[in-house]
């Protein structure tokens, strides 16, 4: 079902150019189809803010539910942004006060860049708690991505993330732990998910907090879990929203950090991502970069054009299916009056009725 271009946000035009179905506001208002209002708390830095919009908007827009999706991006004033980033937010984003005044059916919270090991010392800590507390009482379901999952696990469930020592990044195989949960209905029992992080919440910590793990990986840990009521909060540790080039761009950024002296060693490959042929090309590029640095000359550009055609996307279909299930369940549980998220007769502590099974 289509997205509605309810503002002049450039992401809508970009997605339309990519072939997505985007309805104009006037046309959409003539259709007798129920709408869903979904918030996106975008905490990503300026360099990734628009890409993150597109990635999550795309997943919602590809849902096949009989609904029109109004996307409402907002951010936190405490996050540091450039003049360009502040201008983008001022022009296209809503304030949290506006979000609260009009209400949401569902909420997505992105990750964020942090400085230092303690999440509680980050500038977004207290305002994020305010958003989560409001959403828990007023929104049918909140989906937390990566660092947002870690923050919520710490301040709501007293479970602090564990540092992994090295960065875990790549594309990893996962398996569905609970095949009966509505969020994984129709999903392959084994599928890939990209990860990119230095920290994680372990399966034992989710269990200690009384939460329910749905998707796990022997190599990458828990990807998908839900709150004790089975739906109010949904936790992602991986990045199913990633484009197929996202890890390549991240690898390129890490090389640039090495060139600038911001990291001590040349970055390793993201795991299970590049083909052997691509790795051979990138190994040769690494030698040329190191040689250029030793000669105090300009390092060569990454030969992206030789790599992109060899990249595979082995996760997007499953990401679509999970988000489709999430949106569909929100649609079923959300009252027309979004100030009353759960329909009469629905147990707010077990909205999906899973405890009866």
Active site residues: 146, 239, 241
How far apart are alpha carbons 254 and 40 in whole angstroms? 27
162-176 and 141-145: which strand pairing?
unpaired
Strand order of the β-sheet with 224-226 is 22-24, 3-5, 68-74, 35-41, 106-109, 141-145, 233-236, 224-226, 212-216, 162-176, 190-200
- Residue 230, sorted as left (phi over 0), alpha (psi -120 to 50) or beta, turns out to be left
**Biggest CA-to-CA distance, the chain:** 73
How far apart are alpha carbons 177 and 163 in whole angstroms? 24
Phi/psi of residue 157, nearest 5 degrees: -120, 5
Helix (H, G, I), strand (E, B) or coil at 233: strand
Contact present, 348 and 342 (Cβ < 8 Å):
yes
- Give the pair of three-digit tokens for residue 138: 């007023």
């Amino acid at each position: 079902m289509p997205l509605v271009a309810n503002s002049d946000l450039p992401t809508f035009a970009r997605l339309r150019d990519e072939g997505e179905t985007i309805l104009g506001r006037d046309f959409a208002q003539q259709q007798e189809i129920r709408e869903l209002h979904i918030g996106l708390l975008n905490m990503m830095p300026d360099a990734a803010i628009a890409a993150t919009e597109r990635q999550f908007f795309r997943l919602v827009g590809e849902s096949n539910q009989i609904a029109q999706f109004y996307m409402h991006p907002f951010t936190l004033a405490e996050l540091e942004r450039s003049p360009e980033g502040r201008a983008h937010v001022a022009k296209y984003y809503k304030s949290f006060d506006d979000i609260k005044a009009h209400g949401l059916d569902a909420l997505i919270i992105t990750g964020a860049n942090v400085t230092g090991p303690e999440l509680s010392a980050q500038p977004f800590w207290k305002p994020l708690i305010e958003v989560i507390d409001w959403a828990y009482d007023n929104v049918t379901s909140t989906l937390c991505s990566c660092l947002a999952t870690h923050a919520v696990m710490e301040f709501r469930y007293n479970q602090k993330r564990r540092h992994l020592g090295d960065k875990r990044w790549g594309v990893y195989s996962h398996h569905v732990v609970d095949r009966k949960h509505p969020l994984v209905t129709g999903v392959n029992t084994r599928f890939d998910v990209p990860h990119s992080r230095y920290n994680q919440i372990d399966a034992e910590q989710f269990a200690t907090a009384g939460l329910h793990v749905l998707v796990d990986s022997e190599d990458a840990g828990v990807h998908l879990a839900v709150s004790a009521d089975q739906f109010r909060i949904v936790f992602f540790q991986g990045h199913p929203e990633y484009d197929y080039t996202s890890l390549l761009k991240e690898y390129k950024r890490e090389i640039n950090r090495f060139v600038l002296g911001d990291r001590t060693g040349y970055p390793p490959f993201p795991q299970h991502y590049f083909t052997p042929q691509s790795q051979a090309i990138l190994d040769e590029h690494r030698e040329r970069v190191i040689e250029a640095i030793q000669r105090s000359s300009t390092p060569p550009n990454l030969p992206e054009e030789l790599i992109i055609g060899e990249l595979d996307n082995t996760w997007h279909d499953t990401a679509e299916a999970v988000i489709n299930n999430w949106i569909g369940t929100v649609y079923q549980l959300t009252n027309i009056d979004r100030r009353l998220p759960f329909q009469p007769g629905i147990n707010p502590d077990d909205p999906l009725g899973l405890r009866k099974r």
